[in-house]
Amino acid sequence: MVLTPQTLFTGQQLIWLPTCASTNTEAQALIVQNRASDGCTIITDFQTAGRGQRGNQWEAAPAENLMLSVVWQPTFLAAAQQFRLSQAVALGVHDWAAALLGPTPKLKLKWPNDLYYGDQKLGGVLIENSLSGTKIQHSVIGIGLNINQQDFTTATATSIGQLTGRAYAREALAARLLECLERRYLKLRAGQVGKLRQEYLQALYRYQETHLFLVDGKQVSGQIVGVEDDGRLAVAIGNELRRFGMQEIRHL
Ligand SMILES: Nc1ncnc2c1ncn2[C@@H]1O[C@H](COP(=O)(O)OP(=O)(O)OP(=O)(O)O)[C@@H](O)[C@H]1O
Ligand SMILES: O=C(O)CCCC[C@@H]1SC[C@@H]2NC(=O)N[C@@H]21
């Protein structure tokens, strides 16, 4: 499918920029100017200041990958439920990758929403919400996916093209991604929270495996046993069950 504003079922607006600082920043500017319709999408070939979680930079070679931000208005979610959106988005990205790579147990979601193949990162999600009282008003869903790039500065990164030995037309992949995201978003909006959570756990990287984490600057051995109602990661460490937010634990 060729991606045009007409063929996008959800994106009333689609803006494809040759370059920008960050598609999340562009999306936020549209929101501030009251020009962001629900589902509008900014895509770019290159970011000069792409950002990731925990203050990381997102690095991607020009015109090789997918970098986009979708604006949604999930006003049905309380601020405290934002992890539900994060899980639905992660599942949408996982569905997209599974359709490309075929079903494989190697394709996982590293908590909270990184896309992994084995121990290598294929993509990441950075969601930035604005609130109105206790409700989410706008969500900027920033997604970076490695598509055709062959060389990375880190050995822990890979791309769809590296894995399959093929080159991809990014327009078609973007259209499919938006479909996958919308499907999951509609399920969330329909209240299928339990099912989404179950599927998220099934896709969770290193779920129920014992391995090393970094907690308070120290290496600890633990086992992921679940994800709490507030989105925190539940990890069994020794005889203790501990719950961690984003800034409190890292996989090693
Ligand atoms: N295009 C890219 N593909 C994969 N990783 C990337 C890319 N651009 C930047 N990175 C960075 O590479 C690092 C690897 O990501 P990963 O999430 O696996 O590491 P991490 O050590 O778990 O990082 P953190 O826990 O801080 O998120 C991160 O710092 C990530 O932001
Ligand atoms: O893994 C992460 O830490 C999240 C990476 C998110 C990267 C995407 S690329 C499109 C959007 N714009 C950004 O600046 N970041 C996100």
Backbone angles phi, psi at 144, to 5 degrees: -120, 125
- State residue 12's pLDDT score: 59
Check: complex ipTM more than 0.85: yes
Task: State yes or no: cis peptide before 18, omega within 30 of 0.
Answer: no
% of residues, the chain, pLDDT over 70 = 95
**What's the pLDDT band for 8 if we cut at 50, 70, 90?**
very low
pLDDT tens sequence across 138-165: 999 999 999 999 999 999 999 999 999 9
% of residues, the chain, pLDDT over 90 = 93
Q: Tell me the best of 126, 156, 246 to mutate to test the pocket of ligand 1, counting ligand atoms within 8 Å of each CB and taking the most.
A: 156
| Cβ 114 vs Cβ 35: under 8 Å | no
Average pLDDT estimate for 121-129: 98
Q: Which pTM value belongs to this model?
A: 0.94
Which atom of ligand 1 approaches the CA of 146 most closely?
1
The answer for residues whose C-beta is within 8 angstroms of residue 243's C-beta and 6 or more apart is 228, 232, 233, 234, 235
Which atom of ligand 1 approaches the CA of 144 most closely?
1
Which atom of ligand 2 approaches the CA of 113 most closely?
1
- State residue 7's pLDDT score: 39
Question: Chain-wide mean pLDDT for the chain?
Answer: 94
- State residue 9's pLDDT score: 43
Query: CA distances (Å), 94 to each of 25, 45, 47, 98, 190, in order?
Result: 24, 22, 23, 6, 20
Backbone angles phi, psi at 20, to 5 degrees: -165, 170
| Cβ 168 vs Cβ 148: under 8 Å | yes
Question: Is residue 112 in contact with ligand 2, taking CB distance under 6 Å?
Answer: no
Q: Tell me the best of 54, 146, 153, 154 to mutate to test the pocket of ligand 1, counting ligand atoms within 8 Å of each CB and taking the most.
A: 154
CA of 82 to the centre of ligand 1 (A): 22
**What's the pLDDT band for 103 if we cut at 50, 70, 90?**
confident
Ligand nearest to the Cα of 128, by number: 2
